């Protein structure tokens, strides 16, 4: 299957309802509106195909860029590759759910995520914090420095309310994920989440959304899900 064939398949899978939903979240033309679940049968015969993933990502078509993340070979990607991808990620569904997810399967994940968090760029910062969420929810606790994560929790506590909007959301998710999926800092993350309280996420031409990591952590405690790890980063 080549680029032209895949683009034709994606176009055939597009739905107007999905397209409108993606656009309401920040996607812009070109896009077809393909439901993510509908991509799985298309991805199965391709397995990991980095060359095709690069071609798809370069189209600028949202659905093609998303599908690129589905078939990407993260371990074959270099730092320059990830930089190119994050620079092409023009809204959060690409930065946090394509680039950050793909990065989380790379051995370069923490190094690159750290640089993005320190960048001062809203979507890079969001992708960096999101990458840690994907990592913490999948990798074993011993693969992380407890001291480093503690420092990151303190950064969230001190700066979340003044961070850019998408970065706020990713930082809030980091608080939640650390408490739920990284047992050594479960209590500390919960304590900080309680101190942080509700976080206001402002949206263009829409009502603000309030997120509260502490309340969501409590729900996971009630469900007995503390220590949860997912088997795979990408579904």
Regions of the chain where pLDDT drops below 50: none
In this structure, the number of other CB atoms found within 10 A of the CB of residue 34 comes to 25
Distance CA(177)–CA(227), nearest Å, equals 10
Q: How many CB atoms lie within 10 A of CB 91?
A: 15
Opening angle at CA 54, ends 49 and 57, nearest 5 = 120
Quick check: 138 and 229 in contact, CB under 8 A?
yes
- Please give the pLDDT value at position 90: 97
User: What are the backbone dihedrals phi and psi of residue 103, each rounded to the nearest 5 degrees, phi first?
Assistant: -60, -35
Distance CA 94, CA 113 (A): 15
For residue 200, the SS3 value is strand
Cα→Cα distances 12→22, 47, 63, 93, 115, Å? 17, 20, 12, 22, 39
- Asked if residue 220 lies in contact with residue 175, where contact means CB atoms within 8 angstroms, the answer is no
Helix, strand, or coil (residue 225): coil
Which of 31, 26, 1 is CA-nearest to residue 126? 26
Q: What is the pTM of this model?
A: 0.95
Per-residue model confidence (pLDDT) at position 235: 57
The widest CA-to-CA distance across the chain, in whole angstroms, is: 52
pLDDT confidence of residue 137: 96
**Please, what sign has the CA dihedral across residues 177, 182, 187, 189?**
negative
The phi, psi pair for 200, rounded to 5°, reads -85, 125
pLDDT at 204: 77
What pLDDT score was predicted for residue 1?
Answer: 86
Cβ neighbors of 201 (< 8 A, separation 6 or more) are: 165, 168, 169, 208, 209, 210, 211
């Amino acid at each position: 299957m080549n680029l032209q064939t895949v683009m034709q398949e994606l176009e055939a899978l597009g739905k107007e309802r999905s397209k409108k939903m993606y656009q309401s979240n920040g996607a812009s033309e070109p896009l077809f509106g393909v439901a993510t679940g509908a991509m799985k049968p298309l991805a199965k015969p391709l397995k990991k195909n980095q060359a095709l993933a690069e071609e798809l990502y370069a189209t600028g078509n949202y659905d093609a860029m998303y599908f690129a993340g589905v078939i990407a070979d993260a371990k074959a990607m270099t730092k320059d590759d990830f930089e190119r991808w994050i620079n092409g990620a023009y809204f959060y569904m690409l930065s946090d759910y394509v680039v950050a997810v793909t990065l989380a399967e790379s051995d370069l994940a923490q190094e690159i995520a750290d640089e993005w968090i320190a960048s001062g760029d809203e979507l890079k910062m969001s992708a960096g914090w999101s990458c840690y969420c994907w990592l913490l929810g999948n990798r074993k606790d011993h693969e992380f420095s407890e001291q480093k994560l503690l420092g990151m929790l303190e950064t969230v506590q001190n700066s979340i309310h003044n961070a850019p909007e998408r970065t706020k959301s990713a930082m809030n998710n980091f608080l939640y994920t650390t408490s739920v999926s990284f047992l050594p800092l479960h209590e500390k993350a919960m304590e900080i989440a309680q101190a942080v309280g509700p976080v206001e996420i402002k949206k263009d031409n829409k009502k603000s959304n309030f997120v509260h990591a502490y309340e969501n952590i409590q729900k996971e405690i009630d469900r007995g899900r503390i220590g949860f790890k997912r088997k795979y980063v990408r579904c």
